[in-house]
A and B are shown apart, each in its own frame.
Chain A
């Protein structure tokens, strides 16, 4: 009895410190709310150009109402594009990797070796806080855009699809976090990781379905891309929502996404462990 209450107390203390890290990160984010808000707004500008671009493309191949490009109508294409914006609002991690690498280079990472705080746990909470602030600020603009663009969608999918979609978005967040964190942690070996970040961004750009739906790709590229984790960062959640994933395989796909996330989590942990070992062996 005494032991369980002690465990419960320790857990409660731990949860409290998580909440405080979260709260402080939110506050920190709000210090620069002006700049942040402007940045968030600017993210919406490309939408207009994208919609116009796809309109022009469809017009060229036979008109926005009839033409289809590899199975996608103009409406579906714009709907897909808008949905990947949401996926990426979850999975993109601006300056996570470079921030970690900088902390390693400048020695700020020492703090996590000396204090009883876990680096990855701290960064995750920090990032969750930043995302939450972002969603709250972007909620209005997102709402306006989706309301204006409601004509591109064919109604709401059913509850099961919606829940798979939401789970997939949350996994996309975690997957994106651990992938980028791993890249940042490579900073334990190299002082500079910006070129690595660039390579990751390129891969992400092409293979996540950020620019176009991945099922447009011809074989064997489609199958190859399906073997990579990137599609779960943008394409997969959107495809679930649009009903592009057959109902019977939706949960299987989310399961695979979960496994990728787990793999990324384990990789990040291992790289952190090895990195700290190297750091403490080398010089600190």
Chain B
């Protein structure tokens, strides 16, 4: 069952272009220059119930804007979207009771009060039945190990503890669709890991449809089968995480542990030597030449150990991002930025 569908979803912002210097500022009072930012440029998506989807992309690619469109905070310039049968930007309460948005940088819990109080308010504004409320609250706080923190004012908690409670608050009404915008931003590895594990468990149990943006590849690798790469407001890849490798990574990394004293420099003829920590040498070899290269290395060197791997995910992603930004499809409209000039309204 498709729970989320967009067609040609587009969002342009018009922002006031402030000029440098006093004179320009004064002139700006009379005549303003605007710049149109094409944050999202025609995104088509279909998400099935129970999918866990990650949005990847460099800063400013349009990931958060897409989540804002889907949660109804902003209205699109063009295109359509339906989530659970609702048009998000109509902001009907019927829709608002069925999804949740968690932004890693914004908090919704009352700062000076214990989280238990905020939870109680959520119970009422979402009309959650008491027994269900208590059960969900206890279950989620137990899994996340924050049950003992419920009665402490939120301001006294650490960022990680707070984020966990924010997540619980967002899940109390058992949303069918959950949007997570950088949920682990600024957290230490331990907190990141426990939130990852929690999301995984939760999603498996309740089959909630989750869309996540994150800069941490570990989040994505641990959680999402499906990855959507957005660059300059457009989808450049939609598929599995491992598929990114096949599609975008043209190289393999061959690691050789040498057992003779022959200089590693000679290995350069098989590919680019990435690192040398004697006797371990890493060579980047184009995919089609891997077999040939291995044969050559084994022939010319005494090898103790040899392995072939994909390059690190982060590296491939960076490559995907930069390629997409340079590809002719993107640059035809001026790298996502069009300039316009108008008089102030």
Residues of chain A having any CB pair with chain B under 8 Å: 10, 13, 16-17, 20-21, 24, 27-28, 31-32, 107-108, 110-111, 113-117, 277, 279-284
* Residue pair B89, A20 in contact (C-beta under 8 Å): no
* Residue pair B124, A114 in contact (C-beta under 8 Å): no
Query: A31 CA to B108 CA in the complex, in Å?
Result: 18
Query: A17 CA to B125 CA in the complex, in Å?
Result: 6
* Residue pair A283, B113 in contact (C-beta under 8 Å): no
Tell me which of B68, B71, B112, B125 contacts A28 (CB under 8 A).
B112
Within 8 Å CB of B101, what residues of A? 114
* Residue pair A281, B125 in contact (C-beta under 8 Å): no
CB distance from B41 to the nearest CB of A (A): 16
Q: Give the secondary structure class of A's interface.
A: helix
Within 8 Å CB of A115, what residues of B? 96, 108, 125-126
Within 8 Å CB of B125, what residues of A? 17, 115-117
* Residue pair A114, B127 in contact (C-beta under 8 Å): no
Q: How many B residues, CB 8 Å from partner?
A: 31
Known A-B contacts: A114-B96, A114-B100, A116-B97. Give 11 more (CB < 8 A). Answer: A24-B110, A24-B121, A111-B108, A113-B73, A114-B72, A115-B126, A279-B74, A280-B74, A281-B75, A283-B13, A284-B73
* Residue pair B117, A27 in contact (C-beta under 8 Å): yes
Would you list the 4 A-B pairs with minimal beta carbon distance, nearest first?
A: A17-B124, A116-B93, A284-B73, A284-B74
Query: A282 CA to B96 CA in the complex, in Å?
Result: 21
Q: Which residue of B lies closest to A19 (CB)?
A: B124
B147 at interface (Cβ–Cβ under 8 A)?
A: no
* Residue pair B110, A28 in contact (C-beta under 8 Å): yes
* CB interface residues, B 99-147, toward A, < 8 Å: 100-101, 103, 106, 108, 110, 112-113, 117-118, 120-121, 124-127
B91 at interface (Cβ–Cβ under 8 A)?
A: yes
* Residue pair A281, B110 in contact (C-beta under 8 Å): no
Q: Which residue of B lies closest to A25 (CB)?
A: B110
* Residue pair A114, B126 in contact (C-beta under 8 Å): no
Query: A10 CA to B125 CA in the complex, in Å?
Result: 11
Q: Which residue of B lies closest to A281 (CB)?
A: B75
CB distance from A126 to the nearest CB of B (A): 11
Q: What are 15 A-B contacts defined by CB distance under 8 Å?
A: A13-B127, A17-B121, A17-B125, A20-B121, A24-B113, A24-B121, A110-B106, A114-B101, A115-B108, A117-B125, A277-B75, A280-B89, A281-B75, A282-B13, A283-B13
Residues of chain B having any CB pair with chain A under 8 Å: 13-15, 68, 71-75, 89, 91, 93, 96-97, 100-101, 103, 106, 108, 110, 112-113, 117-118, 120-121, 124-127, 153
Given A13-B124, A17-B124: A284 and B106 within 8 A (CB)? no
CB distance from B301 to the nearest CB of A (A): 58
Query: A152 CA to B110 CA in the complex, in Å?
Result: 45
Query: A277 CA to B112 CA in the complex, in Å?
Result: 31
Within 8 Å CB of A10, what residues of B? 127
Q: Which residue of A lies closest to B179 (CB)?
A: A114
Q: Which residue of B lies closest to A106 (CB)?
A: B106
Q: Which residue of B lies closest to A21 (CB)?
A: B121
Query: A54 CA to B21 CA in the complex, in Å?
Result: 52
* Residue pair A110, B73 in contact (C-beta under 8 Å): yes
Within 8 Å CB of B91, what residues of A? 113
Within 8 Å CB of B15, what residues of A? 283
Within 8 Å CB of B127, what residues of A? 10, 13
CB distance from B34 to the nearest CB of A (A): 12
CB distance from A249 to the nearest CB of B (A): 44
CB distance from B140 to the nearest CB of A (A): 18
* Residue pair B106, A108 in contact (C-beta under 8 Å): yes
Query: A117 CA to B108 CA in the complex, in Å?
Result: 12
Given A17-B125, A20-B124: A113 and B112 within 8 A (CB)? no
CB distance from B134 to the nearest CB of A (A): 16
Within 8 Å CB of B153, what residues of A? 31
* Residue pair A284, B68 in contact (C-beta under 8 Å): yes
Query: A138 CA to B75 CA in the complex, in Å?
Result: 46
Within 8 Å CB of B71, what residues of A? 114
* Residue pair B106, A116 in contact (C-beta under 8 Å): no
CB distance from B101 to the nearest CB of A (A): 5
Within 8 Å CB of B124, what residues of A? 13, 16-17, 20
CB distance from B345 to the nearest CB of A (A): 10
Within 8 Å CB of B68, what residues of A? 284
Within 8 Å CB of B75, what residues of A? 277, 280-281
* Residue pair A24, B117 in contact (C-beta under 8 Å): yes
Query: A179 CA to B153 CA in the complex, in Å?
Result: 33
Query: A147 CA to B53 CA in the complex, in Å?
Result: 69
Within 8 Å CB of B89, what residues of A? 280
Query: A20 CA to B121 CA in the complex, in Å?
Result: 6
Q: Which residue of B lies closest to A283 (CB)?
A: B13
* Residue pair A28, B113 in contact (C-beta under 8 Å): yes
CB distance from A191 to the nearest CB of B (A): 11
Within 8 Å CB of B72, what residues of A? 113-114, 280
Within 8 Å CB of B108, what residues of A? 111, 115
Within 8 Å CB of A281, what residues of B? 74-75
Query: A107 CA to B103 CA in the complex, in Å?
Result: 11
CB distance from A133 to the nearest CB of B (A): 14
Q: Which residue of B lies closest to A276 (CB)?
A: B91
Given A20-B121, A282-B13, A284-B68: A116 and B112 within 8 A (CB)? no
* Residue pair A31, B96 in contact (C-beta under 8 Å): no
* Residue pair B106, A20 in contact (C-beta under 8 Å): no
* Residue pair A20, B73 in contact (C-beta under 8 Å): no
Q: Which residue of B lies closest to A122 (CB)?
A: B125
